[in-house]
Amino acid sequence: MRTIELGRTGVQVSSLALGAMQMGNATDEKDSIRILDHYREVGGSFIDTADCYEWWAVPGSRGGHSEELLGRWLTGRRDEIFLATKGSAVPKLDPALWADDGTPNWPLARRTFAGAGADSLRHALDGSLKRLGTDHVDLYYVHVDDRATPLAETLETLAGFVRAGKVRFVGWSNVRTWRLERIRGLCERNGWPLPVAVQQQHSYLRPKPSADSASIVDHEQLDYLREHRDQTLVAYSPILKGIYDDERKRDGHWAMESYAGTDSDARLAAAAEVADEVGVTPNQLVLAWLMHQTPRTVPLIGPRTPEQFEDSLPALDVRLSREQLDRLDAAGA
């Protein structure tokens, strides 16, 4: 496992990060431990979770399952792991959050997220530390950008976490580029720690022109991050639920809603062609492509099964030529 510098911190993190969102629910403890142990065996150390994972899986839940499982696994290993978690995205408890069949009510959840106010973040971080069984996390994200709370309040609170030694570095997720620039200005003026990681949905496919999401990287955000190397892009959903390997899966899949179109068709064909040349699957090719990118990008994989995790590992050994990278970049309508 290669490493890259996180922002300009001088700290090296694994080039492939492991997301623990499903651990403790969709992925049971036995399989979660298998994945975590194997990730360490191949040299991985950058593990990502959040306090809200996975509230939606169990009616009446407040989340925390992933953090609790990681807390058990981390015993005796804490110093070996660069540990990231997030706060702000646990919704207000309400019976209406789940339908009678257990289906989560996402529109209601998004209207009632805890947000990034000072008190909310303090309670969220303390809860995360307790579940994780540690006195600090290496990276703490604002999980969902909160426009209802003054940025200064959020940033000052995060700065307090760093001063107290509860957090080493801060990050931001699901955020527009203009907000990143405003955050940068406030941090510079007030001496607050700048977010060193920006966690966004990012893949080889490009969002279609009609897509409008604060969570998906667009051309402007890529340009911004190329100009600001002190912030590293952490790319979640890098293989879009595995659609690159399965043509049938793309048809009507919700993961394709922001991408489907002629541009994506052309890029899917290019990915398949180059994957065949280097002897990997298209999913593996996309992970490798992301690790070759500027701005520096850390793909964040979230395998549900040990087999899915193992399927991602060949990407670590792929070396793409300049000609192949140029061809992949040029593909599209």
The pTM of the full predicted model, rounded to 2 decimals, is 0.97
Decide: 217 and 201 in contact? Cβ < 8 Å. Answer: yes
Averaged pLDDT for residues 64-83: 97
Query: For 50, which DSSP code?
Result: -
Q: What is the CATH number of the domain that holds 298?
A: 3.20.20.100
**What confidence tier does 249 reach under pLDDT thresholds 50, 70, 90?**
confident
Does the pLDDT value for residue 302 go beyond 90?
yes
Instruction: Kindly report, residue by residue over 96-135, the tens digit of the pLDDT.
Output: 999 999 999 999 999 999 999 999 999 999 999 999 999 9
326 occurs within a structural domain:
no
Residues 25/57, Cβ–Cβ less than 8 Å? yes
Average model confidence (pLDDT) for the chain?
A: 97
CA–CA gap between residue 125 and residue 222 (Å, rounded): 29
Alpha-carbon gap, residue 186 to 190, rounded angstroms: 6
Q: Decide if 272 contacts 331 (C-beta within 8 A).
A: no
Q: How far is CA 228 from CA 13, 223, 224, 282, in A?
A: 18, 9, 6, 30
So what's the pLDDT on residue 136? 98
Average pLDDT over residues 84-91: 98
Cβ neighbours around 26 below 10 Å, total:
15
Q: Percent of the chain having pLDDT more than 70?
A: 100
Q: What is the mean pLDDT of residues 308-333?
A: 97
* Residue 263 belongs to some domain of the structure: no
Residue 299 located in a structural domain: yes
Q: Could you report the per-residue pLDDT of 172-223, keeping only the tens digit for each?
A: 999 999 999 999 999 999 999 999 999 999 999 999 999 999 999 999 999 9
Is the pLDDT at 248 greater than 90? The verdict is: no
> In Å, how far are 16, 46, 48 from 285, measured between CA atoms?
13, 21, 22
pLDDT in tens, 147-174: 999 999 999 999 999 999 999 999 999 9
Closest CA to 167 of 85, 88, 233: 85
113 φ/ψ angles, rounded to the nearest 5 degrees:
-55, 150
Cα–Cα distance, 178 to 221 (Å, whole number):
9
Domain holding 194, by residue range, is: 3-243+282-320
Q: For the chain, how long is the longest CA-to-CA vector? A: 55
| Token pair in block for residue 278 | 């280097």
pLDDT computed for residue 148 by the predictor: 96
Mean pLDDT, range 224-248, rounded to an integer: 96
Structural domain includes residue 277: no
Is residue 271 in a domain?
no
Token look-up 């994957």 returns 275
Instruction: Inform me whether the pLDDT recorded for 299 exceeds 90.
Output: yes
pLDDT higher than 90, residue 236? yes
Which residue type occupies 215?
Answer: S
Residue 262, domain member (yes or no) = no
According to the model, what pLDDT value does residue 191 have? 98
Domain count, the chain: 1
CB neighbour list of residue 67: distance below 8 Å, 6 or more residues apart: 49, 50, 51, 53, 85, 128, 131, 132
The CA distance from 218 to 222, in Å, is 6
Contact 107, 94 (CB under 8 A): no
pLDDT at 53: 98
**pLDDT attached to residue 252:** 84
Q: Which whole number is the average pLDDT over 19-24?
A: 97
Asked if residue 119 belongs to a domain, the reply is yes
pLDDT surpasses 90 at 317? yes
Residue 329 has a pLDDT of: 97
Is there a domain that residue 47 lies in?
yes
pLDDT of residue 251: 86
Question: CA–CA separation, 329 vs 70, rounded Å?
Answer: 37
Q: How many helices (H) and strands (E) does the chain have?
A: 12, 10
